[in-house]
Chain A
Amino acid sequence: MTQENATTPVLPPPVLARGPIGWARANLFNGWFNTALTLFVLWILVRTVPGLFDWAVGSAVWSGDAAICRAEGAGACWSFVAEKWRFILFGTYPADQHWRPVAAMAAILATLLASADRRMWGRPLAVIWPVGLGLAALLMFGGVLGLDFVPTTLWGGLPLTLALSVVGLVFAFPLGVLLALGRTGDLPVVKALSVVYIEVIRGVPLISVLFMASVMFPLFLPQGATIDKLLRAQLGFILFAAAYLAEVVRGGLQAIPKGQYEAADALGLSYWQKTRLIVLPQALSLVIPPLVNTFIGFFKDTSLVIIIGLFDLLSTAKAALTDPAWRGFYKEAYLFVGLIYFAFCYAMSRYSQFLERDLSKGRRR
């Protein structure tokens, strides 16, 4: 039926039911409880936001020395960050060489960005990762091509945090997948070993694993030989993260129906073909949210390496505060590194949401 023939006129909805007013009525002021809640939240915002804005922007000190910041009525002391950002970001890495950690981080970020593209998954990644990480290591260590050698004892700040977390998770993830496969598989010895490993590691705090890695690895080495402290922390971190990732992956493996295994078997696929082509793609895409949750958690847990004397991003910020001239600007220091952590974690979170949507396209079950 066309509109001309309609007997009842076609009218727009009443003005109070559409647009921003309609939305507010439907969502903010529907019922006395929601109305009260809305007003309460508004009151809190009115009480806090102007003060916060004034501190962070209005009365903030953007340059100059600490004395200006300590003046009556001064807000956030961003000049502290302006003064210390290089130390916070790069730790004790030689100041004239700071372009190297910057370039190394760019290499790592480029590697991550390239891996984010699903068209790269498969063989390209096997090239991208060794090249990207190799380049980053080359830049950080130096010692060749006219670059001065910089030992890991001088590394710190964001490059250290990135190295620990990216390298850690890249090695921990395949190890975790293998442990999960071992635990859910049919081989009794492999299964028992996987269970024992996972349960022991999960039953111990990360700090003690890092301590053990720091103190115990050297005991297994011949007299006089040493392993780098960073490498020890890295190993401890990988071993620890693998146990957690294994349990996340196991959750995905258990959600794959038996029929998928049977269909793959009936077609004559080998165990590894079945695992790689049928089981893991489905299992991993099911556990993207808890997987990324674990990644984010471990990214931040790298800050625990301070207990064995490595200066990650959080530790360099703390160290910056020990400068007698700039003592006491905790809020600024922690906000600054907090924002950096947040940027990375939020990026991971957004990417995981994109990936989940992308992978579920056309794949209703």
Chain B
Amino acid sequence: MEESIIQLRGVNKWYGEFHVLRGIDLDVAKGERIVICGPSGSGKSTLIRCINRLEEHQAGTIRVHGVELDNDLKHIDAVRRDVGMVFQQFNLFPHLTVLENCTLAPMWVKKVPKAEAERQALKYLERVRIPEQANKYPGQLSGGQQQRVAIARSLCMNPSIMLFDEPTSALDPEMVKEVLDVMVDLAQGGMTMLVVTHEMGFAKSVADRVIFMDRGEIVEQAPPEEFFGNPKSERTRTFLGQVLNH
């Protein structure tokens, strides 16, 4: 394996008394595509939200590109510039147009000139197949379109790592595919991706590794053929039985 660009060692986190992450060790190589699945409340969203410090871990270390996430704001800023995130609820800025959503962070965080930021934004909007909506407001778009804008907005910061927190869970069924297509396209372009999802089809076709989490720990991780073909743990088998045969 190449040198890992994300490295978690003994990561623990509590919500009050609730032990949500229990001794997580994880290495992610450059360009690796990882799908994280597990029952709700298993800590999978919390795990990826710790990687860009939307949540604070209380024990252990997290390093991204060798930068340790501690209380140093400079470290947090450095990591966030390089890690994009896509949310379940899109979280587009409703008072800004699609184009402004995409150019805001490059212009203010990276000080990219406006014309250049807009050129970049249109390039990525084209990549998510939605350039014609650039001057609309998010509220005028469908859920699938909004999520694709959210992906483009993250890409405009030229991240080397993308985190996806259940990106299709809030979508109507007919819109899931258009978002997954964009994600597949992104994966084929060599982006390092950590995806929390229940889309097992996506996991099978795109992931290099599937991680199963339950009750705050990583129960099993394996390449998709092995994970789906020959799961080792009883808990994994139960979970797969529930999500695959409904």
- The minimal Cβ–Cβ distance linking B158 to chain A, given in whole angstroms, is 12
Task: Name B150's closest neighbour in chain A (CB-CB).
Answer: A263
Chain B residues with CB below 8 A from A263, complex form: 85, 87, 91-93, 150
CA distance A362 to B96 in the complex (A): 10
Contact A267 B54 (CB under 8 A): no
Q: Quick one: which of A307-365 are within 8 Å of B by CB?
A: 359, 362-365
Q: Which of A260, A267, A365 contacts B105, CB < 8 Å?
A: A267
Chain B residues with CB below 8 A from A363, complex form: 94-95, 137, 139
CA distance A266 to B93 in the complex (A): 13
Task: Name B106's closest neighbour in chain A (CB-CB).
Answer: A267
Given the interface pairs A259-B87, A265-B80, A364-B139, the reply to whether A281 lies near B105 with Cβ below 8 Å is no
Chain B residues with CB below 8 A from A184, complex form: none
Q: Quick one: which of A273-301 are within 8 Å of B by CB?
A: 273, 277-278, 281-282, 285
- The minimal Cβ–Cβ distance linking A67 to chain B, given in whole angstroms, is 63
- The minimal Cβ–Cβ distance linking A182 to chain B, given in whole angstroms, is 19
Given the interface pairs A362-B136, A362-B140, the reply to whether A259 lies near B105 with Cβ below 8 Å is no
- B4 at the binding interface (Cβ < 8 Å): no
B interface size (C-beta, 8 A): 28
- The minimal Cβ–Cβ distance linking A280 to chain B, given in whole angstroms, is 10
Chain A residues with CB below 8 A from B91, complex form: 257, 259-260, 262-263
CA distance A63 to B127 in the complex (A): 77
Given the interface pairs A277-B104, A282-B94, A363-B95, the reply to whether A268 lies near B139 with Cβ below 8 Å is no
Inter-chain residue pair count (beta carbon < 8 A): 72
- B153 at the binding interface (Cβ < 8 Å): yes
CA distance A273 to B77 in the complex (A): 13
Chain B residues with CB below 8 A from A281, complex form: 95
Task: Output the residue of A262, A268, A278 with the most chain B CB within 10 A.
Answer: A268
Interface string of B101-126 (1 = CB under 8 A from A): 00011001100000000000000000
Contact A365 B139 (CB under 8 A): yes
- The minimal Cβ–Cβ distance linking A186 to chain B, given in whole angstroms, is 12
CA distance A262 to B145 in the complex (A): 20
- A269 at the binding interface (Cβ < 8 Å): yes
- B81 at the binding interface (Cβ < 8 Å): yes
- The minimal Cβ–Cβ distance linking A72 to chain B, given in whole angstroms, is 64
Q: Quick one: which of A3-44 are within 8 Å of B by CB?
A: none
CA distance A63 to B90 in the complex (A): 69
Contact B109 A267 (CB under 8 A): yes
Q: Which of B83, B89, B137, B140 contacts A259, CB < 8 Å?
A: B89
Given the interface pairs A277-B108, A281-B95, the reply to whether A364 lies near B140 with Cβ below 8 Å is yes
Given the interface pairs A263-B87, A266-B52, the reply to whether A285 lies near B95 with Cβ below 8 Å is yes
CA distance A363 to B140 in the complex (A): 7
Closest 6 CB pairs of A and B: A263-B91, A364-B139, A267-B105, A259-B91, A266-B85, A268-B80
- Which residues of A line the B interface, CB within 8 A? 257, 259-260, 262-270, 273, 277-278, 281-282, 285, 359, 362-365
Question: 7 other contacts beyond A260-B93, A266-B85, with CB at 8 A cut-off?
Answer: A263-B85, A268-B77, A273-B108, A277-B108, A282-B94, A364-B140, A365-B94
